[in-house]
Chain A
Amino acid sequence: MSMLLEVDGVSVSFDGFRAINNLSINFGKTELRAIIGPNGAGKTTFMDIVTGKTKPDEGSVIWGDMNISLLGMSESRIAMEGIGRKFQKPTVFEAQTVRQNLAMALKNPRGPFAVLTHRKTAENARKIEAVAAEIGLADSLTRLAGELSHGQKQWLEIGMLLAQEPRLLLVDEPAAGMTVEEREKTTDILRRAAQTRAVVVVEHDMEFVRRLDCKVTVLHEGAVLAEGSLDYVISNPRVIEVYLGRADA
């Protein structure tokens, strides 16, 4: 099976500090993957590289069926290629309504002139309602995003990613600051999303990762330390040493 995203031998240094060290990691077309690792393991830097925010010093990032390189593409171009990214802190447009937030994210032409002459269509309205229903905000379409609770903002942001119709979803700590109930709902949304696309979740919270019930990649010092089921990786002695051992201490 050909891969959706192949990151191969990527390294990047900041002022001599090697944040990513010869990292190789692959994602299939429909899979749910959790990436865990201690602070400074390079989880966020990895996302920065894939989404075009950071240029790696070496290595390759190959994307899609046509095997195109993502290196050198702008952030917006990569987003148009089908990679959506959710930030750690919920970032929605608080001064605008939920509907406007979702409408902006919908997969439509992104150029200034196309947007200027954009007209509302029933098709788009239907898509917005479908996404809103998926994230549990169907009744809140006319509310300002700033009025939403923390959990709802996180869902709205996930909803905006879904509206983009990406093939790969990078989600940074979606469960941070959520109640137990909200976490369950977030897990459901992510697992459903992963049925038709690749979803990569960076998470600190072991319970949340366990609930996702998926393949886990452990990063350490900018490289893959172990990969497999959660039970497999947490029984790996090296993982225990660098990560869990330290966390328990």
Chain B
Amino acid sequence: MKNTFIAQNPSVLWFLLALGLFSIGVTALSEVSGVGVISTSFVKVLGKMLCLCLIAIAMDVVWGYCGILSLGHFAFFGIGGYAVGMWLMYARTEGIVLESLSTQVIPPTPQEISDAIGNQIFGVVGSSDFPMIWSFADSLFLQLLMVVLIPGLLALVFGWLAFRSRVTGVYLSILTQAMTLALSLYLFQNDSGLRGNNGLSGLQNIPGFEATSQATLSIAFFLASSFALAAGYVFFAWVVSGKMGSVVKGIRDNEARVRFLGYHVESYKLFVFTITAIVSGIAGALYYPQAGIINPGEIAPIASIYLAVWVAIGGRGRLYGAVIGAALVSLLSSWFTGGGAPNINLGFYTVNWTDWWLVLLGFSFVAVTLFFPKGIGGLFDYLVRKPQ
């Protein structure tokens, strides 16, 4: 089984090799190894990039393979981030509160401790009570379970309603976008229980590892992201190869034919939508401890549209294409918007890349769609002749 799977998908081996070398290289050049060519902040950029690659392959499976243009997968990403962020914030605040209360003569009651933590976390939105959704915030295990369960359940319920009604094409895209927008707007509310537009912050501080330097933590998260991407890649490559891949691509190309062959198309769409949502949640849970902060703006529909742009530029319908697109565009994006690109003085006007990057990205998207519909990944077709 393993042999035939790898034999039929040689790109999986090449990808794992490249990712392995990249991970070893970055670790060797980081501050942890003492070389320090790659700064800790750049390790975080690369670690975040790997998480974006992970959600990009999930997007590629749902869109490039199954033909569902979901504009909601970044919502699942954000939910994963919030779920793990709640524990990070709670556990860290608890540590600080306990330390400050330990100097008091009379030992504090559990109620006092809870109030103090609530005050610390929710003071910013004028509250000190723990909302119900924080019930499990003290348990890392349960919050990690939420990373998988909440995106999975949301996708299952939403997908069931949408697919059962045979909503397809652009209408489905609009529906997923509406879901994302609704979630984002809800989270912006101060009484949403997740600190409104302040979001959750200080997520780069991992409770229990206060003594560990950020350099070490950043490499740990980078390698964890790398491992998650490798596992996700192999998993999705397995899903879209073989007969499942045939059916899923068949649904993309001609849904009615698949239905009249006796396949229950809605179940397949639901399956693909849900597993990709779960992987998106996992990617988000790894991303936000590296970003340090999450707020509702991250979930806004525009993020999910970017995701589609990455996949389109990288090449739909091939997993490595999605990785290339997400890696390239997210790195270029942080270079351009981070002031890395020199401004161009035209005499009468100065092209400031912080503003013009989006225009450039827009033009690239149009150009790729018009001239390279297979994306950057399509260039590999010229190098490798597919054995048929």
- Interface residues of chain A, those whose CB is within 8 Å of chain B, are 51, 74-77, 79-80, 84-85, 87, 91-97, 100, 103-105, 110-112, 115-116, 118-120, 142-144, 160, 164
Contact = CB atoms under 8 A, between A and B. Distances in A.
Given A110-B264, A112-B244, A144-B388, A79 B249 contact: no
Contacts of B133: none
B244 to A, nearest CB: 5
B249 A115 contact: no
A79 B262 contact: yes
A208 B125 CA distance: 78
B141 to A, nearest CB: 27
A93 to B, nearest CB: 5
B250 A96 contact: yes
A144 B388 CA distance: 9
B388 A97 contact: yes
A120 B4 CA distance: 10
Interface stretch (B220-228, B265-273, B279-287, B294-302): B265-273
A104 B264 contact: no
Contacts of B246: 93, 96, 100, 103-104
A152 B254 CA distance: 18
A84 B260 contact: yes
B165 to A, nearest CB: 13
Contacts of B253: 93-95
B247 A115 contact: yes
Contacts of B239: 116
Minimum-distance CB pairs A-B, first 5: A79-B262, A118-B243, A76-B264, A80-B262, A112-B271
Contacts of A112: 244, 267-268, 271
Most buried by B among A94, A103, A112, A119: A112
A118 B242 CA distance: 8
B157 interface: no
12 contacts: A51-B260, A76-B259, A76-B265, A80-B262, A91-B257, A95-B253, A111-B264, A112-B244, A115-B243, A116-B244, A120-B4, A164-B262
Given A51-B260, A84-B260, A93-B257, A104 B247 contact: yes
B263 interface: yes
B278 to A, nearest CB: 15
A120 B388 CA distance: 18
A79 B259 contact: yes
B97 to A, nearest CB: 47
B1 interface: yes
B264 A74 contact: yes
A92 B257 CA distance: 8
A118 B53 CA distance: 28
A85 B260 contact: yes
Nearest to A97: B388
